[in-house]
Structure 1
Amino acid sequence: MSADTGRGHRVIAGRYALTDVLGRGGMGTVWLATDQVLERNVALKEITFSVDVSAEEREVLRERTMREARAAARLDHPHVARVYDVVEEDGKPWLVMEHVSARSLQEIVEERGPLDPQAVAKIGLDVLDALDAAHEAGIVHRDVKPANVLVDRTGHACLTDFGIATTTGDSSLTTHGALIGSPSYMAPERANGEEPRPPVDLWSLGATLYAGVEGRPPFDKGEAMATLMSVVSEHPAPMLRAGPLESVLRGLLTKDPARRATASQARRDLQAVLAGPPPGSPPPQWTAPPPPQAPGPVAGDKVERIDSEDLRALASASKALLGSVARDIAGRRRERKAEERDGGRRNAQQRVAEKRGAPPRRPEPPVAEPRRKRRFKRRWVVVPVLTTVIVVALLLVGAAVGLALLFGLL
């Protein structure tokens, strides 16, 4: 039961006194609270499911939150905001988490603008370590995004908010097939309704680091289904500021999870970006970034509920798009094979003819157009010559007749 301390502070589970609101999101409100037993500050997340979910889905999410929060409480890692406890108050789950003195990457980018690639690489390495710890414990975060990455004054990061996390093997869908998450940072396989595996967190990490260095998410169309369609079928928006991070981000944002960069590959590449070029090596030829971007809101953070009907329509549209591309590729392959087959058949016929002693096949005569051009040119040579011969002959005949008349022979 909740109570009042007499100083205007609500107390949850008879222990945690709420003080200030730290933040609000689609899944609830995060409070700064005091643990009155251990006398320490904690972060209390009130799970309210403010996204539009049915009563049945709300119950499923409540049960799942309780179960997975207890699983996340097993994590003990310096780059994971620990979950101390999960309690239930007024029919709602409350997550009791470590209070980290830091600000979210979302807030930092909105206030300062995009960060430089080395700073983002440092953040990425810390979040990657946190994800490794979660995945080893069989936990998939499913909601890695700038708002859930806390960055302290030294530039180190901490991953928080396992509110919609799931253990490996669990389904990412509610009882009616609705999908809960932030579309701009959601992996394509989640949009296709596949079971969430660790690669979905690597995709979300790539999208998060992209937003940190570019100041915007790689996929955002302003509307949930349009954004998901972009995630499934389009390339990320062009990178203008990523520089040495670009290849790392492209590896993490590979749509096929089987070809996506692994955690070890991403770590190696992020370490290379953070270290910079080796001493004495020529600096890489990166395109100069545009002028500094003015601080402002970073889109795509909102948690959305995607209905099963919309997911089926998305899957159908993406399959149609992929089918069209596949048909084009298959058509080109058939044309190439037909050309190769015809060429091989002609070569085989030529080889058989040579074995039988037949004379080699003569090449096809040239087309008529060049011959017409040659006749045209010869005509301009032959006609003047014939004309000259005729004129000379006439002159000779005339001279002979004149001589005969002169000597009285005619």
Structure 2
Amino acid sequence: MSEWAVSGYTEVRELGAGAQGRVVLARHDESGTPVAIKYLFGSPDEADRERLRHEARMLGQADSPHVARLYRLVEGPDGAALIMEAIDGVSLKEILEREGALGPEASLAVLKGSLLGLSAAHALGVVHRDYKPANVVVPADGLSRLVDFGIATPAGQEAGGAGTPYYMAPEQWDRHTATPATDVYAATCVFVECATGRRPFTGNRAALMLAHRTGEIPVDTVPGPLRPLVARGMAKTPEERPAGASAFIEELEAVAVEAYGPDWEHTGVRALAAAAAALAALFPVAAALLPGAAAPGTGGAVAHGGQGAAAHSGQGATAATKGGGLKVALGIGAAACGTAAVIGAGTVVATQQDDEPERTRAAATPTRTAAIVPVRGCSRMVPNSNDPDGMSPQPEAPPAATVRLPPVVDLPDGAAVYYIGGGHLIGPANVECDGQVGASSGLHRIGDPLAGGGVYESFNWADFSVGAMHCRYFPDTGPATEHRASVPQCDADVPKRQELSGVGMRAAMTSGVAMGTDAPPSPYVAVSLAVLPGPEDPFKVIDCVMPWERRDLCGAALTYWLVRETTDAEPTEESLRRASTQIAAFVETIRR
């Protein structure tokens, strides 16, 4: 056991140990928040410290809900450690060993989640190099997460012999250049294993090298609709594969929708969640983590990754330490009723709501999560009763000076809550806000995309506009079919679309468009979310355009608006939490 320990944290238990160090489950002394701490053994030399710093840089820059988050790197004269997010779930390796083949939709869901995590690394010019089932964690919501960047390297460097032989691309065996296509190959190997229950190639190291370099791609082992993905992803040369994870996601979605329908992802995620839940009782550490947490199997709520309380109990932990590596999937138990946590600058603060006991829930990321925030009122232009053709401003006084955010909404730094037209919206702080309403349409605006970003809420009853909206967001509806008959190219400009399920009404996201004739400076994100309460209700849309580094504000704005618009449908907290995770993941794919 390492003698040196990070001050301010109490170790709960050791989760795994390898050749260079160990991983422990620990609790933040002040708040009780659980974390994973990766320690180097003994007094590490400069080379060991630099390897840990390198991993910290990789984790610290990979801003994605599909990547385990780094809280901080701690170094002292006697040791070094990474303090990381504690992920509520079990490793994909454990699931495959116990469940075998996962089925097409679940396999596709694993691949998509992993590709989203890898795409965050690729956007930074980083190649993971060791993607494998032990490095994928499936939490209670079924949305897979990528962990461990210990041997990640900048793209374009020699691939080297590092990696796990079952999943290493030919260029890794040949010590050629590592590119994002190297990770695509490994992800496809794992995809084959998910779909079939068997690794694509087996044998000793020499046999594996030969198979990966020259062997036949095992397309015949997977269901027919999946074979093109395997052929592309496991092509022998990087040039024949998709250039990176983002490009492969587009191919995956096209294949999945055509073969298994628009609800394929919902089906797959549910299957993964069930597989993780079935194994949760094997790792009963929840009761040891937080005061007030339910013991395994007693029906207590589990808060996953700061996205709110979920109706699952007995989540556990597993550590995969094969080959000296340190891979951790942590179970977190928390009774988070009526609470929110604020984490930032290394501290966590619990807040109390109503008469519920004060408890702390785990925060998924270092971004701040607010429970109660002030509200700023905006004005609207409304029809002038004295002038049928005129409009006049009307102040919109908030009904209350503050608002309590739902637990699924994290308010980023630099964001604020506004009140326009009878509803609250999240937008960038300290910007202009206004609205207008007419006979058949309305628009509420916060900020300006050309001056730091903007959020827009609109609704419309006009027949032509409604048809175009259906075409963009819900192309399978009758109004979309009618509109397409007169405007065949109506949905030709929508490169990405994802429908949200389980929220009580139809809701869909698309890559958005910048408001006005000019786009903001690149890179930026432009994303839209639409809801369709019923055939006779107005079509409602929210658009968010932000600089890329402020994309988390778009995730918060869309999630808050979705919660507001679906209140009457009474979606479950679990479905809203799942939707918030899907929104955040979708935003990560919309970079311009």
Match in the other structure for 1:185: 167
- Deviating more after overlay: 235-244 vs 144-153: 235-244
- Where does residue 105 of structure 2 map in the other structure? 118
Match of 2:7 in 1: 14
Which of 10, 23, 27 is equivalent to 1:30? 23
Residue 272 of structure 1, CA deviation: 3.3
* Aligned partner letter, 1:108: I
Pairing of 1:306-325 with structure 2 (within 5 A): none
More helix by share: 1
Amino acid at match of 2:202: D
Asked if residue 107 in structure 1 is aligned to residue 94 in structure 2, the reply is: yes
- Alignment check: 8 A CA contact 1:118 1:273 kept: no
- Cα distance in 2, alignment partners of residues 46 and 66 from structure 1: 12
Are 2:82 and 1:95 aligned? yes
Aligned-partner residue type, residue 231 of structure 2: R
Q: CA distance change for structure 1 residues 26 and 184 in 2, over 3 Å: closer, same or farther?
A: farther
1:75 and 2:62 are equivalent in the alignment: yes
1:24–1:260 distance in 2 versus 1, CA, 3 Å: farther
Q: In the alignment, what sits opposite 1:132?
A: 119
The 5 A counterparts of 1:8-407 are 12-23=5-16, 28-37=21-30, 39-47=32-40, 60=47, 62-88=49-75, 93-173=80-160, 179-221=161-203, 223-237=204-218, 239-262=220-243, 263-277=245-259, 302-303=322-323
Q: What's the offset of the Cα at 1:59?
A: 6.0
d(CA) in 2 for partners of 1:78, 1:213: 24
Residue 164 (structure 1) shift = 1.3
- Native 8 Å contact 1:148 1:159 kept in 2: yes
Query: Aligned with 1:31: secondary structure?
Result: strand
Q: CA deviation at 1:195?
A: 2.7
Q: Distance in 2 between matches of 1:82 and 1:24?
A: 20
Task: For 2:228 and 2:22, locate their aligned partners in 1 and report how far apart those are by CA, in whole Å.
Answer: 36
Asked if the contact 2:219/2:231 (under 8 Å) is kept, the reply is: no
On the 8 A contact 1:66/1:93 being kept in 2, the answer is no
1:103 match: secondary structure:
strand
Q: CA deviation at 1:220?
A: 2.2
Aligned equivalents of 2:154 and 2:8: distance in 1? 29
CA distance in 2, matches of 1:230, 1:48: 37
Shift of 1:251: 0.8
Distance 1:61 1:41, change over 3 A: same
Distance 1:254 1:38, change over 3 A: farther
8 A Cα contact 1:42 1:99, kept in partner: yes
Change in CA separation of 1:247 and 1:99 when aligned onto 2, cut-off 3 Å: same
Kindly state the Cα deviation for residue 2 of structure 1 after the two structures are TM-superposed. 6.5
Deviation string 1:160-198 (CA, Å, 9 cap, x unpaired) is 11111122355555xxxxx33211111111111113221
Report which of the two structures shows the higher radius of gyration computed on alpha carbons: 1
Deviation at 1:86, TM superposition (A): 2.5
Q: Distance in 2 between matches of 1:100 and 1:275?
A: 29
Distance in 2 separating the partners of 1:61 and 1:180: 16
What secondary structure is seen at the aligned counterpart in 1 of 2:198?
Answer: coil
Q: For the Cα contact (< 8 Å) 2:219–2:230, is it kept in 1?
A: no
Preserved contact between residue 68 and residue 167 of structure 1 (Cα < 8 Å):
no
In the other structure, the counterpart of 1:326 is: none
Are the structure 2 counterparts of residues 153 and 85 from structure 1 closer, same or farther at C-alpha, using a change threshold of 3 Å? same
Counterpart contact for 2:129–2:162, Cα < 8 Å: no
**How many Å separate the matches in 1 of 2:159 and 2:165?**
14
Q: Structure 1 pair 16/226, CA: closer, same or farther in 2 (3 Å)?
A: farther
Q: 1:98 to 1:303 in 2, by over 3 A?
A: same
Paired residues of 2:225 and 2:259 also in contact (CA < 8 A): no
Deviations 1:230-283 (A, max 9, x none): 21121244643444222212211111001112334421232234435487xxxx
Structure 2 SS opposite 1:12: coil
- Which amino acid in 1 is paired with 2:229? V
Q: Secondary structure at the match of 1:156?
A: coil
Helix, strand or coil at the partner of 1:226: helix
SS in 2 for 1:85: strand
SS in 1 for 2:201: coil
Alignment RMSD = 3.3
Residue 44 of structure 1 aligns with an amino acid whose one-letter code is: I
Could you say what secondary structure the match of 2:15 adopts?
strand
Relative to 1, partners in 2 of residues 1:24 and 1:201: Cα closer, same or farther, differing over 3 Å? farther
**Using the alignment, how far apart are the partners of 2:252 and 2:227 within structure 1?**
11
Give the aligned residue type for 2:32. E
C-alpha contact (below 8 Å) 1:219/1:236 kept by paired residues: no
Aligned equivalents of 2:19 and 2:172: distance in 1? 18
Mapped contact 2:217–2:235 kept (Cα < 8 A) = no
Give the aligned length.
265
Please give the alpha-carbon distance, in whole angstroms, between the structure 2 residues aligned to 1:216 and 1:15. 44
Over 3 Å counting, the alpha-carbon distance change for 1:93 and 1:214 in structure 2 is farther
- Please state whether the residue corresponding to 2:238 is helix, strand or coil: coil
Q: 1:218 deviation in Å? A: 1.2
Identity across aligned pairs (percent)?
A: 35
Conserved? CA contact 2:18–2:324, under 8 Å = no
The alpha-carbon deviation at position 62 of structure 1 amounts to 4.4
Change (3 A) 1:137 1:21: same
Structure having the larger proportion of residues in strand: 2
SS in 1 for 2:10: strand
Distance 1:22 1:164 in 2: 21
Unaligned runs of 5+ in 1: 4-10, 50-55, 174-178, 280-300, 306-410
TM-score by length of 1: 0.57
Q: Residues 142, 162 of structure 1: CA spacing in aligned structure 2 closer, same or farther, 3 A cutoff?
A: same
